[in-house]
Amino acid sequence: MRISESELEVMKLLWEKSPADLPELIERTKQRRDWDESTIKTLLRRLVGKGAIRRTGERRSYQYTPAISFREYRVDLLRHVAKSFFGSNLVEMFCFFVREEKLSAEELGELEAILKKGSENHD
Amino acid sequence: MRISESELEVMKLLWEKSPADLPELIERTKQRRDWDESTIKTLLRRLVGKGAIRRTGERRSYQYTPAISFREYRVDLLRHVAKSFFGSNLVEMFCFFVREEKLSAEELGELEAILKKGSENHD
DNA sequence: TTTTATAGATTACAGTTGTAGCTTACAATT
DNA sequence: AATTGTAAGCTACAACTGTAATCTATAAAA
């Protein structure tokens, strides 16, 4: 189930806060994109069609909720990237990142701390 | 300059080895995708049009070469993902990854080593 | 009860993508 | 010189995307 760029914008609104109804989504969209209301309606409809969001409640006041969580989505996305561009090798992807992104000393420190905490959960 | 999924397949061939000419690309594509030769020609044409690959040499034996390196492409991609899904916060993206991917102890060790080496380049 | 505002449905339309067929020009072969 | 194989060019066409206008039904307002 592929979610397009524009559709993602709507998903993000819902991930930030849901359920939400149309007026609310229209309102919150205005803060970031200059879309006509129709556009939002179309995107909602397509997302419901794709099964990416669920619609509940009564006609005229439907509530929209994401059907996949932000967490899931991000996990899948990173896995896809890892698979598609790093031969599924997560470590390689990390290395690449550290190497290319020239993280600051603080950032590197933070990461080390994270890793340390991570290892504690193992033997 | 957006490169589509199918186009990426062709880019990957070229990133692995280039310059390459059409017969070679057709041959190498057969190993992974069941595409008609026409499809490859179309994708090449579109990629040249988009400026993603360069064409040199004589008509009838053009050589194709990527115009962006694999490295650049991956950097841009990861930055895009970081920006679009982690508020541009690379560290957060890493954390998420470490947290969600349940890396093995060895992998975590590797990463720590990498980070350590990374910090050495800083003061 | 009539009017009005509007959520949601339907239709639109150009650009992109996935996938491929048909045409042309020319280098190599006969 | 005639034939042929095939890069490269041109055309095709349906599905998906980005973006929106128009229509319809109904809850709220007057």
The per-residue pLDDT for range B43-70, each reduced to its tens digit, is 999 999 999 999 999 989 999 999 999 9
| Percentage of the residues of chain B whose pLDDT score is greater than 70 | 96
**Which residue in A has a C-alpha nearest to residue B99's C-alpha?**
A118
Kindly tell me if the per-residue pLDDT of A29 is higher than 60: yes
Does position B74 have pLDDT exceeding 90, yes or no?
yes
Q: pLDDT-derived band of residue B95, with 50, 70 and 90 as boundaries?
A: confident
Whether this prediction's pTM lies above 0.75 is answered by yes
Distance of CA B74 to the CA centre of its chain: 5
CA distance B121 to chain A (A): 9
pLDDT at A103: 82
Task: Point out the residue among B77, B112, B114 whose CB comes nearest to the CB of A85.
Answer: B77
Q: What is the pLDDT of residues A62-76, one digit of tens each?
A: 999 999 999 999 999
d(CA A82, CA A90): 6
Does residue A38 or residue A122 have the better pLDDT? A38
- The contacts of residue B105 (CB under 8 Å, 6+ apart) are A119, A122, A123
Phi-psi region of B87 (alpha: psi -120 to 50; beta: other; left: phi over 0): left
- Is A103 in Cβ contact with B90 (below 8 Å)? yes
C-alpha B98/C-alpha B102 separation (Å) is 6
Pairing type for strands B53-56 and B63-66 reads: antiparallel
Which band of pLDDT confidence, cut at 50, 70 and 90, is reported for residue B121?
low
pLDDT for B61: 94
Arithmetic mean of pLDDT over chain B:
92
* pLDDT of A112 strictly over 90: no
d(CA B69, CA B63): 16
Does B35 score more than 60 pLDDT? yes
**Nearest Cβ partner of B112 from A93, A100, A112?**
A112
The answer to whether the beta carbons of residues A114 and B94 sit under 8 Å apart is yes
Question: What's the confidence (pLDDT) of residue A104?
Answer: 84
| Nearest residue by alpha-carbon distance to C1' of D7 | B60
